[in-house]
Structure 1
C-alpha cells in the first residue's frame, strides 16, 4: 500500500498546475490532501475526480483555514468526518477512511507561524488530537495519521535557520508533543523509521526563502500505530514536485489492500 500526503495551499490552483496528472502517476492507494481551500460543492467538476479514485472532502467554515480530502483507489468501509473536537471539525481538519486492514486519516493542524494570536488555538488542537491518539490505542485495528502538522519534531527535521529562532512550529512544547506520541504512546514516525537521510524537508516557508535549499523543515508526517512498524518498506519526499510550499511525502507499506 502506498500512502501519499500533500498540503496544496488550495486544490483549485493545484489542479491548474497539474496536480491530478501527477496524482494518477503515483500508483498510490490513498492520497491524503490538506489545505484544499474550497467548498465541497466546488469540487464537483470531473477534474477533481480522476478516473479510478474515490474522492472525499471536508471543507472548513472559513475556507481559507484549510479543509482536507482523501483520494483512494479502494472503496472504504466507512468515512469519519472529524474526531469529535468541535473547533477542528468546524475548520475541516480531520477526515478518515476505514479499510479492511487499516484506517488512514488526513490531518491539517492550525498554523500560528505568521499569526501569534493563533498559538493558543494550535496548542488546544494538539491537546485534543493527542487525547484522540491515546483513545485510538484501545482500538483493535491499525491506523495511519497523515498530514501537515505545522511543526518540526527534531533538530534534524529543521534547517539551522530554525534552530536559532523563537518560532511557532519549533517551540519546545510543540516538539515535546511528538516526544510523547512517539516515546510514550508508542506511535511510529513512518518516514524516519526507514529514512535517516539529512536535510529531509517537506516545507519551505515563504519568508524563510529557499525552495529546494536548506531553509526548510519537515512538518508533514505519517504517524502510524506500532503494529505497522514492521510493514514500512520505503519513505521519501518528492522534493522535485511543487504545487505549494510543501512537497509530497510518500510512504510504502507492506499492507494488502482488498
Structure 2
C-alpha cells in the first residue's frame, strides 16, 4: 500500500460517508458514441463573406428608406428553429447587424472551426436596409441625409448562424458564446436539446400556472383601465417583446 492509497483509506475511516466512494469498485458502463455517418461536410465549410453594400443595377440609384423599427420588433415567426438540428446562436432580443458584426462572427468561426469535421452556415441575410446620416455640424432641414451604411434587422428568436458536423456541443460552445457576447443585441448559444427543453418548460408553465391574473388576462379585460397606459404592441404580445 503506497502513501496515496493509505491516505485515501485513512480518510475513508475518518469519514464513513466517504467510505462508499473510496472503496466502491465495479464495471463502468458508458453510453455508445453518437453516429455521424449521415452527416456530409460541404465543400465550403466556413461562413460566406457578405458584401458590405447590396449590389444594384448601374441605372438604378440606391433607394433610401424610413427607420421601420417593426423589422426588429416582436418575435421571429419563420427562422426560429435549427435546420441542421445541432447547434447555433439564437437572438433573444431585437437589433441590427452591421457589416462589422458579420465579419466578427465569420473570423471567430474561421479560427475555431475544425474544417475536417465541422461546418457553419448563415441564417440571416446580408446587409440590405439603408441607414442615412447627416454630416457633422449640419443644420436641421435640407431633406433626408445620405446613406451611411447598411444593416440587417433581426427579431427576437432569430437564428443568426448554425454549426454542424461530427462534433459535440461542448466543442463548439466557446466559439458560439464568444460570438453571442459580441453581437449588438442579446443572444445565446443553443443546441437542439436546449431549444426543445425551453419549449417544453414554457408550455409546462402555461399549463400549470395557477394565477389566472396574467398580463394577457389583465390587458384583454382592461383591468384598472390598463388600455390608457400600455403600448399598442402590448395588445399583440402582452408585454413579452418591447
TM exceeding 0.5 = no
Structure having greater relative contact order (Cα 8 Å, sep ≥ 6): 2
**Structure 2 length as normaliser, TM-score?**
0.27
Which TM-score applies when normalising by structure 1? 0.26
Q: Give 1 or 2 for the bigger CA radius of gyration.
A: 2
